[in-house]
A and B are shown apart, each in its own frame.
Chain A
Amino acid sequence: MDDLVVLRVGTKILIPFILLFALYVQFHGDYGPGGGFQAGVIFAAAYVLYALVFGIGNALRVMPAKVVYACGAVGVMIFVGTGFVTMGLGGVFLDYNVLAHEPSHGQHYGIIAVELGVLVTVFGVMVAIFYAFAGRRRLDP
């Protein structure tokens, strides 16, 4: 890959914008199309692009496989944990109204929390599946 200068430089220019767009999709999900799932996929796409151009070895140094697997589980825990927090505060499971004094503010916090959980899970799962495929190399005859 050392000779593909245009590809490497182009990727380096693109990746920050893709990551920024993923954050926009995540935090703008309340106002326009988008949300945790789409943002997670776009995050993963940026990361997979990096792995494709700079090699799976470098990608594994940025984020080892164990970290990615943990992401997949932590996101679900954030989502379910939000439900338990609302139960602890006296509401029912995933009733965000109790998260703040004003019910609508509570809804905002709750939605941000669960969307974060979805983002983390989707990112972790997409990258984990990519690792699983890319980690198996075909032996040439």
Chain B
Amino acid sequence: MIEFVDVALLVLLAITGVTIIRLRNLFAAVMMAGIYSLLSAALFVVMDAVDVAFTEAAVGAGISTVLMLGTLALVGHQEKKPRRPAIVPLFVVLVTGGILVYGTSQMPPFGHADNPIHQHVAPYYLEESEHDIEIPNVVTSVLSSYRGYDTMGETAVVFTAMVGVLLLLARGPLPRRVLLGGEWRTVRPGTTREELRAEAAHALDADGSDGDGSGGTTPGSPGSEDIVGEQGGKHG
């Protein structure tokens, strides 16, 4: 019975994966990616890794779908048709997949008690956790106590992810002077980008230029780059 569930889930997973590759509508692809995560979570449940399944369902099917949709709102919903068939990527994928499948032939059988992974520290954790930590969930005692350093590092990694995304995407305050519509302007503190943009559009309408002369801002001033990027997007 459990084999049947495994096979059914894996077949659905494969179908979903191929569908994602073939889809040109990115909105549908994001939805399929959410389904893919949900199927993976179901597979983890079958393998008795409920904590992992929980995380996969919450992060993969939940938050990352929303973030992908946020990205789609910026880049558009339709993928362009490739100009020629992707031979080289197909070759790379086939070779990598072949190596991985070959690698599994050397792996110890799944769930076997004599596997190396079950011979190292795992028996100690399983046997002594109820005396050392006295909580029933061994996963929590390993994550938070026995392997507290690792979890601390992971928390720091999550924090670093935030710093990276904010450095790339977040908009700080505007710089004092920005190049807009071909001329330098001093920005009043507290001016929002929307106000500035409206002002610039007004000025552009007045002198009839099309705004392409707005390139060449001071490098390293995120605010001005930002505005130029948005104006470029307007014409692109």
Contacts and interface: CB of A to CB of B under 8 A. Distances in A.
Nearest to A37: B55
B2 to A, nearest CB: 19
Contacts of B151: 79, 114, 118
Interface string A30-56: 111111011001101100100010000
A138 B66 CA distance: 17
Contacts of A137: 73
A110 B145 contact: yes
A33 B166 contact: no
Contacts of A73: 159
Interface residues of A, number: 55
Interface string B52-77: 01110011001100110011011110
B158 A114 contact: no
Q: Interface SS of chain A: helix, strand, loop or mixed?
A: helix
A133 B166 contact: no
A122 B160 CA distance: 11
Nearest to B50: A33
A55 to B, nearest CB: 14
Given A31-B135, A31-B137, A133-B169, A80 B152 contact: yes
B230 A139 contact: yes
A128 B166 contact: yes
Interface string B184-224: 00000000000000000000000000000000000000000
Contacts of A76: 155-156, 159
Contacts of B6: none
A121 B161 CA distance: 11
Contacts of A103: 132
A129 B51 contact: no
A35 B70 contact: no
A134 B68 CA distance: 11
A131 B55 CA distance: 22
Given A69-B166, A133-B71, A121 B55 contact: no
A98 interface: no
